[in-house]
Amino acid sequence: MSLADDLAAFLGPGRVKTDPLERHVYARDGGLRTGPVEVIVHPRTTAEVVEIVRTARNHGSPVVARGAGTGLASGAVPTGPAVLVVLTRMDEIHEVDEASRTAWVGPGLINLELSQHIAPLGLHYAPDPSSQSICTIGGNVATNAGGPHCLADGTTVAHVLGIELVTVDGEVVMLGGAAPDPIGLDLRGVVVGSEGTVGVVTRVLVRLTEDAPATRTLLLAFGDTADAAATVSDTVAAGVIPAALEMMDRVMVGLIENWIHAGFPTDAAGVLLAELAGHPAAVEAEAEMLSNIAKANGALSARLAADADEAARWWKGRKGAFGAVAQRAPDYYLHDTVVPRSRLVDILGRVHEIAERHDLEVMNVFHAGDGNLHPLMPFDAAEPGTLERVQAAADEIVTASVEAGGTLSGEHGIGLEKRDLMSLVFSPVDLDAQARLREAFDPVGLFNPDKVLPAGSRCFDYGRPAPAQ
């Protein structure tokens, strides 16, 4: 029988898709590239994932796991005909342990839905990507996603305690667990950020965070982005670590205001949005310190949100930034690099210089507190040559960030978009070590081949997997 027939034998025809239109829709994620999808499957259980992996391997077909498709590095795009395992129907909240502040969830669970579910317990799930209303926990695990409120609490890896993983042999293994300090190697930490290259994640044990007793949100406006960047550095140097510290430039603020009407000052060159969380007295003191630091750096204004509604409106504006870009052009390229906070001003200048040289517009919204840049270039892919200019500019932005002491990605991952730039950061020895680790999990190259590691990282490169013996 064909691969699709074998898969349909245990999943049923309704959850095995080969229609050309559906394969076209699933041929890309939030990145720029597309790839050939052989068959799409929608499992509901770990047992079904096991059978999918075994069947795909028997047919010599790669397996590419996918969540909601919000990834921005083409990490869920096959590079050759593959079985696309769409995990969005594995969206259960299996168990919440209020006492230990943990929850077992399916990889297809929408990030925001977990926090909504546990809100009555006074708990939340800390990682909050801007796409949290549509992205999945499994996708967050794949890229080690962050978000505005990860400055103080850390990215996804700090909030994942255990992972249930289906291996290349179709076995189910448990990595990590509820114990505070599990014995052995931290293989859980290997899987977080591995972008689907070592197995298929079927359940995740996440850490839940207690809601802070008090929060204050500040909106700081500056006439110069250099002053905003200086405020970021001075705040951290003063020992104040906000729960979130976000920056937006004038162009981005204008687009947000025209769409969401969040209440941002459109005459400012740069805006900082900060949230402080903790004991009420500490929060009030830190809010005053941050306001004074901003004023010392020439802030045009420093406003405290009058109430929770105003704070929510400001955060709606920040998290709606990428959607606001649709006013500018039908397409956009959103990059993700990290630079030292002390180099923010220099890199912002380089980003604008690179975009201008390639005849492109660029706007910025980013996690300023940890130097995680998100330069965004709107464009129209239908215009001949535009996509090539965008990709060339994007590669230059990454190179400039690395030269400034930064790195390739803070939370979006490597995927295909940055795969061939890995040598900017890693030596041949480093790449070989990563390839050997990946080979230990997947010696036949079944899972998401051709991603993350460039060709030549190992003494041999992965091709299509050989059928199981």
- Secondary structure string (H, E, C) spanning 392-455: HHHHHHHHHHHHCCCECCCCCCCCCCCHHHHHHCCCHHHHHHHHHHHHHHCCCCCECCCCCCCC
pLDDT, one tens digit per residue, over 376-403 is 999 999 999 999 999 999 999 999 999 9
| Rounded-to-integer distance, Cα 331 and Cα 382, Å | 9
Confidence of residue 464 (pLDDT cuts 50, 70, 90): low
Closest Cα partner for 224 from 290, 296, 298?
Answer: 298
Is 385 exposed, middle or buried (CB count within 10 Å of its CB: 0-12, 13-18, 19+)? exposed
Looking only at the bridges linking them, the beta strands covering 37-41 and 93-97 are: unpaired
- For residue 467, the model assigns a pLDDT of 59
- For residue 99, the model assigns a pLDDT of 96
Output DSSP code: residue 71.
Answer: -
Mean of all residue pLDDT scores within the chain: 95
| Rounded-to-integer distance, Cα 419 and Cα 404, Å | 20
Looking only at the bridges linking them, the beta strands covering 37-41 and 82-86 are: parallel
Do residues 146 and 411 lie in contact, with contact meaning Cβ atoms separated by under 8 Å?
A: yes
Percent of the chain with pLDDT over 90: 95
Is 99 exposed, middle or buried (CB count within 10 Å of its CB: 0-12, 13-18, 19+)? exposed
Closest Cα partner for 414 from 381, 442, 438?
Answer: 438
Residue 466 pLDDT exceeds 60 = no
Instruction: Count CB neighbours of 116 within 10 A.
Output: 12
What stretch(es) of the chain map to CATH 3.30.70.3450?
216-258+269-308
What stretch(es) of the chain map to CATH 3.30.70.2740?
328-414
pLDDT, one tens digit per residue, over 327-340 is 999 999 998 999 99
Longest dimension (CA), the chain: 72
Kindly report the pTM of this predicted structure. 0.95
pLDDT, one tens digit per residue, over 246-303 is 999 999 999 999 999 999 999 999 999 999 999 999 999 999 999 999 999 999 999 9
Give rounded-to-5 percent helix, strand, coil for the chain. Answer: 40, 20, 40
Residue 62 pLDDT exceeds 80 = yes
Instruction: Count CB neighbours of 293 within 10 A.
Output: 21
Closest Cα partner for 201 from 17, 35, 67?
Answer: 67
Confidence of residue 463 (pLDDT cuts 50, 70, 90): low
User: 93-210, what's its fold?
Assistant: 3.30.465
Percent of the chain with pLDDT over 70: 98
Do residues 165 and 158 lie in contact, with contact meaning Cβ atoms separated by under 8 Å?
A: no
- For residue 458, the model assigns a pLDDT of 84
Residue 432 pLDDT exceeds 60 = yes
Exposed e or buried b per residue across 224-250, where buried means at least 16 C-beta atoms within 10 angstroms of its C-beta: ebbbbbbbbbbbbeeebebbbbbbbbb
| Rounded-to-integer distance, Cα 15 and Cα 84, Å | 12
The two structure tokens encoding residue 393: 């500019």
| Rounded-to-integer distance, Cα 124 and Cα 119, Å | 6
Output DSSP code: residue 213.
Answer: S
Do residues 137 and 107 lie in contact, with contact meaning Cβ atoms separated by under 8 Å?
A: yes
CATH number assigned to the domain with residue range 216-258+269-308, chosen from the 4 options 3.30.70.3450, 3.10.450.50, 3.40.50.1820, 3.40.50.970: 3.30.70.3450
Do residues 373 and 364 lie in contact, with contact meaning Cβ atoms separated by under 8 Å?
A: yes
Give the distance from CA 407 to its chain's centroid: 15
Closest Cα partner for 116 from 101, 100, 129, 133?
Answer: 133
Residue labelled with tokens 């001949």: 384
| Rounded-to-integer distance, Cα 372 and Cα 385, Å | 29
Torsion, Cα of 14, 19, 21, 25 (10° steps) = 60
- For residue 460, the model assigns a pLDDT of 54
Residue 13 pLDDT exceeds 70 = yes
What stretch(es) of the chain map to CATH 3.30.465.10?
93-210
Domain spanning 328-414, CATH class: alpha beta
Do residues 318 and 275 lie in contact, with contact meaning Cβ atoms separated by under 8 Å?
A: no
| Rounded-to-integer distance, Cα 343 and Cα 365, Å | 16
Where does 283-411 show beta strands of DSSP type E? 299-304, 331-334, 337-338, 363-366, 372-373, 375-379
Instruction: Count CB neighbours of 381 within 10 A.
Output: 14
Strand partners, 229: none
- For residue 469, the model assigns a pLDDT of 54
- For residue 1, the model assigns a pLDDT of 84
The two structure tokens encoding residue 149: 């409120």
